[in-house]
Amino acid sequence: MIEWHKFETEAQWLELRNRFRDVTASVAPALYGLGYMTRLKLHLQMSGVDFSAPDRNDAVLRRGRWMEPAVALAVSERHPEWRIEPAKVYLRDPELRLAATPDFFIHNDPRGLGVLECKTVAPSKWESQWDRGRTPPLEHILQNTVQMMLSGAKFGYIAALLVDAYRMDLALCEVPGHPGAEDRIRDDVRKAWADVAAGREPQPDYARDAEAIRVLTRTATTDKAFDATGHNELPVILAQRAALMARIKQDRTRCDEIENEVKHLLGDAVTVNGLPDWRISFKPTDFKGYTVKARTSRVLRITDKRPAEERPDGGEEEAA
């Protein structure tokens, strides 16, 4: 049985999300390495880790919130026969602990109930991720599929509004029902909860999992040492890091030289004219004093102790 929890306000919706702590349609793509959340972060969230909530005033989130009614209006003009209704319902499968909050329901279609997911897209993403509105990213297809699963909808659509100062465009992409994909999602959600129960952590995405790794390493055991004997990969990546740090240092030195040359050229001038491709200013700026609250955090320091001829940066200690 699918539970339908109606809500009227964003606060009520957030209360439902916080109460149930389900895998929601917006984060389910992380099970497949897709979307804004990593697999490890989803695992930790399912385990009860309370990550800081996204900033509702973030420019992208704010744009989506403001433009959602406009997307629905654009769709209604494309399909005047439809009645498009704000869903305002938190759908959940209590056995799977899988949930979804569709943006809109579509009525008055001969196929039956439909779900509509609304997106706003910047021009750069329109070209690189949406194939100019022809194909939505896979994570959005998965999100819409979960919404159809839980609502019992007969069809789904993803509507994307291109937000551009000079032109607007609407992509309306149908997401067909796919019983095999739905079964796969159910199996993978069950497995994810089983991994949480067994304490099996997924492999981190080291490019994106800094926050999750901070959570996993925030405590330290006094006098405990990691035995790296026989760890063949660690010396390789440490040597690679040392070479990168040396290159960064060289690049930073050259950047400083260029900036000093520009400052010297400007003298007491505060702006630069005559360079149409560059905007340069060198203005006096006041900085307020502040105090930093005392805190304790772990700091990683790495010192290259290899022979001098093997060290690109002289073996200086670097903190990370």
pTM for this model (two decimals): 0.84
CA–CA gap between residue 267 and residue 273 (Å, rounded): 14
Cα angle 188, 191, 194; round to 5: 155
CA–CA gap between residue 3 and residue 94 (Å, rounded): 7
Tally of CB atoms within 10 A around 185 = 23
Which stretch of 38-47, 127-136, 284-293 has the lowest confidence by average pLDDT?
A: 284-293
pLDDT band of residue 28 (cuts 50, 70, 90) is very high
DSSP 118-134: EEEE-HHHHHHTSGGGT
Per-residue model confidence as pLDDT tens digits over 58-69: 777 787 788 899
Amino acid at 180: G
- Per the CB < 8 A criterion, the answer to whether 154 and 114 are in contact is yes
Return the domain boundaries, the chain: 3-202, 233-283+292-319
pLDDT of residue 263: 94
Please report, in angstroms and rounded to a whole number, the separation of the first and last CA atoms in the chain. 49
Q: What average pLDDT does this structure show over 238-248?
A: 94
pLDDT of residue 306: 81
pLDDT band of residue 241 (cuts 50, 70, 90) is very high
Backbone angles phi, psi at 233, to 5 degrees: -80, -35
Measured N-to-C along each axis, helices 39-46 and 179-198 cross at an angle, to the nearest 10 degrees, of 60
Q: How far is CA 3 from the centre of its chain?
A: 28
Return the higher-pLDDT residue of 166 and 89. Answer: 89
Place of tokens 């320091």: 301
Longest dimension (CA), the chain: 76
pLDDT band of residue 57 (cuts 50, 70, 90) is low
Structure-block tokens of residue 171:
């992509």
Question: Three-state DSSP class for 320?
Answer: coil
Pairing type for strands 155-162 and 114-121 reads parallel
C-alpha closest to that of 18 among 115, 90, 105, 118: 90
Please identify, in words, the CATH class of the domain defined by 3-202: alpha beta
Q: Is the pLDDT of residue 318 over 60?
A: no
Alpha helices in 231-275 (DSSP H): 233-266
Backbone angles phi, psi at 158, to 5 degrees: -110, 120
pLDDT band of residue 315 (cuts 50, 70, 90) is low
Cα angle 161, 167, 170; round to 5: 25
Backbone angles phi, psi at 92, to 5 degrees: -150, 145
- Per the CB < 8 A criterion, the answer to whether 183 and 143 are in contact is no
Per-residue model confidence as pLDDT tens digits over 247-304: 999 999 999 999 999 999 999 999 999 988 888 999 988 878 777 778 777 676 767 7
- Per the CB < 8 A criterion, the answer to whether 103 and 83 are in contact is no
Average pLDDT taken over every residue of the chain? 91
- Per the CB < 8 A criterion, the answer to whether 210 and 38 are in contact is no
